[in-house]
Structure 1
Amino acid sequence: MSDTGRSVLDEAWGRIPHTRETTEEPGSFTQTRIERVITLLVGPGCLVLGAQAFVAAFGPGDETPGWHLPLVVGVFLPLIAMVVACTIGRFARLFSGIFAVAFVVALALWPAATVDGSAPSVTENPWIFFLINVATVAAVVAFPLPLQVVWTIAVPLLFGLARLVQADFAPDFLLPVLLDVSFACILGSVLVTLGWMYRSVAGNVDETRSRAVSSYASAAAAEATERERVAVAALMHDSVLGALLAAERATTPRERTLAVSMAREALMRLANAEKDALEGSDEPVDAARLADDIEEAAHEFGVDLTVTRRVQFGTPRVPGRVARALVLAAMQAVANAVQHAEARGLSVELNGYADPGSVAVRVRDAGGGFDLSAIPEDRLGIRGSIIARVTAVGGRSDIDTGPAGTTVLLEWESGDRW
């Protein structure tokens, strides 16, 4: 994606209300939410299973004296830390990983801890059995998918091996242990599959959203580039080419004064181009203000012009950018009338209508007219400075020209766009 597209994407993402989980990266919005949901479910679930194992740990244990308390502390302290971290949503992966590893270590030490203990019961499982799937869930939270699969298979098998070693591989234990291991593997597989499925769906949603926003950003960047091109082209014609043409054709003191004013305006516009001087503020203005601006701009060009005003009560206020575009387009029409028709019969009318809410500016001259279709493509006085400029702000323009003169009509109607 281009730098312009990336800036548009970042701006769009910045407008979305964020929580703590979604402030870092726009590409992981849904995935981050799914991770939070998983940890919120894991916390209470592990608390219930942990409480069951903790109650069982207070009963008669299979461990030899000196092993029971270290094993209980070494397993339940990481478990409590994991439950708290999952509940508050902070450091859940870290403490879940610590518990998953601590539980595997406890299972590895189980044969040594029970080697001289009491004879194990075939019908009752030790307290550590109730935490097998808690370790699997901890792996789902903390580890990538390959390690989750390893934990899902290895933890039940390790428990079964430790249990058989504790019972000296007595035949009576083979079937119960096999059933326990199978149950733990099946349940663990379901948990891992659910976690993988929800994360995959969230990843696909984020990827689709990212592509859609990137496509929008590219389209917006292309539109912005095209608007900038039109604006720069209009600026160059209005401010530079217009001044050069006026200077070249100036033969009278009045025309020389006009050329000097246009050159001064060109320098000011070029100096302020990066500040969007042509667009101005969006603050709405009264329709009559357009007539004042046209008269003032014409005076700066050395043209004494009085704009006829017919503004009905209730005429809507005009957004600042629209007003500026209409004034600049009208001044281009005035400049064309001065240069090509020597300002013969030059007049400007401003009409404001309450119903429908609209504003119209009409510029007339009594020159010889011109052939609109014969204007070269590189001449932007009409195409860029009048038609394109008014269209860019949602307005309409119409040019009627002939031997009796030329009339340029600029219209803007209030609508949902503004």
Structure 2
Amino acid sequence: MSVSRSQVETISARAVGIAGLVFAAQTVPSALAEAAVLRPGAGAALMAVVYGAIVALAVATLSKVAIRAACLSFAILYLLALLSWPTLVEDFGAMAGQVPWLYFLCTVATTAAVVALPSWWAAAYTVVVPIVYGIVRVSPSGGAAEPLLAVLDATYALILGIVVLVIITMLRQAAIGVDQAQEAALQRYDLAARLHANELERVKVDALVHDSVLTKLLSAAAATRPEQQALAARMAKDAIARLDEAGVAGPRSLDRVSLGVLVRRLRTAIGTFNASFAVRVVNAGGVELPVEAVEALYSAAVQAMVNSLQHADEPGRVTRRELRVRGVRANGCVVEVADNGVGFDPITVPHERLGVRVSIEERMTNAGGLAKIESLAGHGTTVILAWPTGAIGGDA
């Protein structure tokens, strides 16, 4: 299974949440011991703020709620705690040779910044935090370490932060490439399917021309007696009428299937996705649609769901998705694919992007239906598919 950008963000966030709990547990003995050298109450307050932020970070990453906010909050609080450390130490002598316990959470803070911030801001944070620690380390409040030792400690923290930054950035870029490749494959598949359908229709028309039209026209040309000519004329007229009907009807099928068939196919498609859609079906009983309409509604709905999976997610937020199918009278249907994701401005979609224009809009138009896209940046997207065109707003 391919890894999407949203999956990379989820895995990275959960890793920092779990690592935060593990590293925090390891620092508890040092934090309790060093609380005695801080100002009265400062040790308990500092532990409450830092450990509380780590617990909130773990809860957010595991529940996939407000991940970016939790990561950013911890990164900021950690930097503030590091900057305030010199003002909190009361007994400098007792700190001699000691390592401030905040040091052991440095990598957790830089990783949280990588998850929460754009790459350049995360890189700046990854550099600044070890430098601040190195300055604190050589001060009396930080144990008055030798400059070389402070540099080594800061460099070690810097290297770990850069490694994490590079790994997550590379995973993000790889996931973006996978998403783009998947979208391109879907576009190629759609084009191939359309070409295949056109080829089948061409073969059908060629067979009709060869087996019926040409035969009857040749029979008409060979007729010599008046009764033969009259019969051949009627046959030729019938053949030409059939050819006209084939040209008008195109590839459409007169066969009809129940709306329940479309619902079952859509549920099966949802089962193959790595995210769930809430399904709501209204008035499906007794509704029958042409096969072509069902195929168009199914393909367009699946493309809309794939678009939602690829583009709607925002790191730090849980995206809710819903598929709504509504029968309209006895021969109509409206399918809605909705999410509360990042949204977009449909006007800004490039013309060459086939996922919306060809796979959804043109497919529905060619089948005699209608596709309507309602979206706003930051407020989610709803794709409305209707067959026939007048089904939107129709009574169920």
Q: TM-score, normalised by structure 2?
A: 0.52
Matched, 1:180 2:180: no
The partner residue of 1:84 within 41, 59, 79 is: 59
Aligned equivalents of 1:119, 1:39: Cα separation in 2: 39
Distance 1:281 1:168, change over 3 A: closer
Match of 1:131 in 2: 105
**Number of residue-to-residue matches in the alignment:** 252
Matched, 1:98 2:90: no
Contact 2:113 2:125 in 1 (8 A): yes
Match of 1:192 in 2: 165
Distance 1:92 1:247, change over 3 A: farther
Q: Secondary structure at the match of 2:150?
A: helix
Aligned equivalents of 2:247, 2:219: Cα separation in 1: 18
Aligned equivalents of 1:166, 1:235: Cα separation in 2: 95
Contact 1:239 1:267 in 2 (8 A): no
Q: 1:99: how far off?
A: 1.0
Q: Quick one: which amino acid aligns to residue 21 of structure 2?
A: L
Larger Rg: 1
Match of 2:88 in 1: 113
Q: What are the Cα deviations for residues 128-175 of structure 1, in whole angstroms up to 9, with x where unaligned?
A: 2221111011122222322232222111111222344454995x5434
Q: 1:100: how far off?
A: 1.0
Give the alignment of 1:42-57 within 5 angstroms. Answer: 42-57=16-31
Aligned equivalents of 2:198, 2:245: Cα separation in 1: 23
Matched, 1:142 2:116: yes
Q: What are the Cα deviations for residues 334-372 of structure 1, in whole angstroms up to 9, with x where unaligned?
A: xxxxxxxxxxxxxxxxxxxxxxxxxxxxxxxxxxxxxxx
Aligned equivalents of 2:176, 2:170: Cα separation in 1: 10
Aligned equivalents of 1:121, 1:269: Cα separation in 2: 91
The partner residue of 2:250 within 273, 279, 287 is: 273
- What's the C-alpha RMSD, in Å, of the aligned pairs? 3.8
Give the alignment of 1:306-345 within 5 angstroms. Answer: none
Aligned equivalents of 1:83, 1:168: Cα separation in 2: 28
**Identical columns (%):** 31
Q: What are the Cα deviations for residues 11-39 of structure 1, in whole angstroms up to 9, with x where unaligned?
A: xxxxx9xxxxxxxxxxx844333333323
Q: 1:246: how far off?
A: 8.2
Matched, 1:37 2:37: no
Distance 1:212 1:119, change over 3 A: same
Contact 2:95 2:142 in 1 (8 A): no
Q: Quick one: which amino acid aligns to residue 130 of structure 1?
A: F
Q: What are the Cα deviations for residues 73-123 of structure 1, in whole angstroms up to 9, with x where unaligned?
A: 322222112112223344333311221122112222222323x45535233
Segments of 5+ residues of structure 1 without an aligned counterpart are: 1-15, 17-27, 283-418
Distance 1:54 1:224, change over 3 A: farther
Q: 1:209: how far off?
A: 4.5
Aligned equivalents of 2:101, 2:87: Cα separation in 1: 16
Q: Quick one: which amino acid aligns to residue 174 of structure 1?
A: P
Distance 1:177 1:132, change over 3 A: same
Segments of 5+ residues of structure 2 without an aligned counterpart are: 258-396
Q: TM-score, normalised by structure 1?
A: 0.49
